[in-house]
Amino acid sequence: MASPSPQQPSLLLPEAPKRRRLLEILGAASIIVTYVVLVLTQPTDIAAGPGSLAALAALGGFLLGAVLLVVAVLPTLPTSTVVLIPIAMVLNIVLGQFVGSTLVPFYLDAIGTVLVAVLAGPAAGAATGALSSIVWSLFNPTVLPFAAGAALIGWLAGLAARAGVFRRFYLVPFAGFLSGVLGGVVSAPIAAFVFGGTSGLATGAIVSAFRAMGDSLLAAITKQALISDPADKAIVFTVAALLVYALPRRSSFQFPFVRRYRVLAGRAPQGRGTATQA
Amino acid sequence: MSRGTLSLERLNPLTSLTGAAAVAVITTAAGQWAFSLAVLGGLLALTLRQARAAAVLRAATAILLPFWAALLLVHGLFFPEGRTVLAELGPATVTREGLLFALDAGLRTGVFVVAFLLFSFTVRVPELLSVLSARGLPPRLGFVVVSALTLLPAAAQRIRRIRAAQEARGLVIGRSLASRLLAARLQAVPLVLSLVHESGERAQALDARGFSGRQPHTSLRTVPDSVPQWAARRVLLVLSLAAVAVRVALALFGGRA
């Protein structure tokens, strides 16, 4: 059988989407495999110092996964979403930097990410989360390794929006809480193995309390994350929902994702919304 | 040697990025506090030769001081794996192993933070994005990053203007939580509304200029590079891989992770 000539493109599946799909799968696989490897091979005796190999695996695996997801997703997004991402990043950084400098065991650094996820879907949310960490790391490099966790929160927020959670306000904090549980569990090994167990004074105090009870470092940080992250994300999802509800309908319904999955309650305004963005 | 004689701003952005990443990887792979301390000392000496030394040091101090305090709190006082007890303070126990753990993790993070701050404060972002786009990263990444960096100061200025406008309308921020929440809402909603509204207009303008085109983009910017820099990047890459390989070998055969 003659092979197709290089000039003849496949009629079944274009080459670029196939490559992007592969990058998406590789990115997600890199994050999942890194997490499983870290949990299974965590250093049992940390008295000799923080484990180097676990830190290298956490840094490399999570960062590679986040970058692959960004490279795969970014070219597929409509322009209306791409221009929204920098705004989300600015909101994340401005609000997160403020809260990070206070003695509150919350981060509130994902309001913009959740906002984009609600308006533009899970892929846009994941790309915003990862990109936000990468740009923020230009001012504070310690947030760079958490890019995969931030991408996960954006993706979960987009899935919740697609499922219609944001049509009923009372469900929003619960979706945030559940996303926070997953996000906290994924981020805990980074805090444990890359940064020696802390990402701030307030969260450090909670980790200390669990360590005083004899928990291992990863167990103490995971428990701290399970206290801080679900409450943090419940607040973040609620604030993002209130901001989306405050937008004029012609602004929120200009996004194809909002119209297609009926993300928000009520009808789309007639005329302008469907005409501006396809 | 005077300030600016070892300026990193003259380097190709890929060289300084590779340098920062290599320093972080090699220090983490080495896993020795004395080595981390020596590298941190070298980085600080290099920082002092830069024109933006004060900005790098200010940012590093703001990040690292609370971080080191938290490490001391977590490991200095509570370290159940510690064997050599130095002091007992009620429920807290200061152990030699706990302090060494905090020192090790603190210095390693110090190297990571200073290396990447040195990179980000000396790199020209448009040049970096141009180089990365030429190596296959999506050109939209450049737009997103540069747009965010431009929007940051603009958004901060807009928040000040919105607050001034709301105060002119009678907003008084009291000490109570309810008053602060109301003030936050009165400032956040107009900010987000205006930013989202502008983004819609920007999307139309960009689409009209072929932003969504799938054709390869031509860069008008040429970033200078040189053979020594190309060689330095290769050497740094090989050193990083070698450091990781030695660490993996030690973990597999020497039992030290």
Instruction: Check CB contact under 8 Å for A53 and B251.
Output: yes
**A contact residues 170-199, partner B, Cβ 8 Å cutoff:** 194-199
Stretch (H or E) spanning B85? strand B85-89
Question: Does B115 share its domain with B237?
Answer: yes
Q: With respect to residue B129, please indicate whether it lies within any of the assigned structural domains.
A: no
**B contact residues 197-256, partner A, Cβ 8 Å cutoff:** 197, 199-200, 202-204, 206-207, 211-212, 214, 244, 247-248, 251, 256
Question: Does B118 share its domain with B183?
Answer: no
Question: Does B83 share its domain with B57?
Answer: yes
- pLDDT tens for residues A248-275? 888 888 888 998 999 888 777 765 444 4
Tell me the shortest Cα–Cα distance from A28 to chain B, in angstroms.
18
- Give the pLDDT of residue A114: 95
Averaged confidence pLDDT in chain B: 86
Supply the DSSP symbol for A267.
P
pLDDT(A128) > 60: yes
pLDDT(A35) > 90: no
Q: Provide the domain limits for residue B149.
A: 138-208
Q: Is A29 at the interface with chain B, CB within 8 A?
A: no
Instruction: Check CB contact under 8 Å for B67 and A45.
Output: no
The whole-angstrom separation of Cα A244 and Cα A236 is: 12
Question: Does B98 share its domain with B53?
Answer: yes
Write the DSSP string, A213-224: TT--HHHHHHHH
Q: Is A144 at the interface with chain B, CB within 8 A?
A: yes
Q: Which two tokens stand for residue A247?
A: 């937008």
Question: Does B29 share its domain with B64?
Answer: yes
Q: With respect to residue B217, please indicate whether it lies within any of the assigned structural domains.
A: no
- pLDDT tens for residues A65-103? 988 988 888 888 888 889 999 999 888 877 665 554 444
Question: Does B52 share its domain with B16?
Answer: yes
Instruction: Check CB contact under 8 Å for A141 and B112.
Output: yes
Residues of B in contact with A91 (CB under 8 A): 155, 192, 195
Tell me the shortest Cα–Cα distance from A277 to chain B, in angstroms.
9
Tell me the shortest Cα–Cα distance from B209 to chain A, in angstroms.
11
Tell me the shortest Cα–Cα distance from B230 to chain A, in angstroms.
23
- Give the pLDDT of residue A207: 84
Question: Does B190 share its domain with B101?
Answer: no
Write the DSSP string, A72-107: HHGGGS-HHHHTHHHHHHHHHHHHHHHHHTTT-S--
Check: CB of residue B77 under 8 Å from CB of residue B99.
Answer: no
Question: Does B86 share its domain with B56?
Answer: yes
pLDDT(A186) > 80: yes
Looking at the structure of chain B, the number of domains it has is 2
Lowest mean pLDDT: which of A233-242, B41-50, B136-145? B136-145
| All structural domains of chain A with their residue ranges | 79-260
Question: Does B231 share its domain with B115?
Answer: yes
CATH number attached to the domain at A79-260? 1.10.1760
The whole-angstrom separation of Cα A73 and Cα A123 is: 6
The whole-angstrom separation of Cα A209 and Cα A203 is: 10
Q: What is the ipTM of this complex?
A: 0.83
Tell me the shortest Cα–Cα distance from B43 to chain A, in angstroms.
15
Supply the DSSP symbol for B136.
T
Q: Which two tokens stand for residue B208?
A: 């009209």
Instruction: Check CB contact under 8 Å for B74 and A43.
Output: no
The whole-angstrom separation of Cα B25 and Cα B20 is: 9
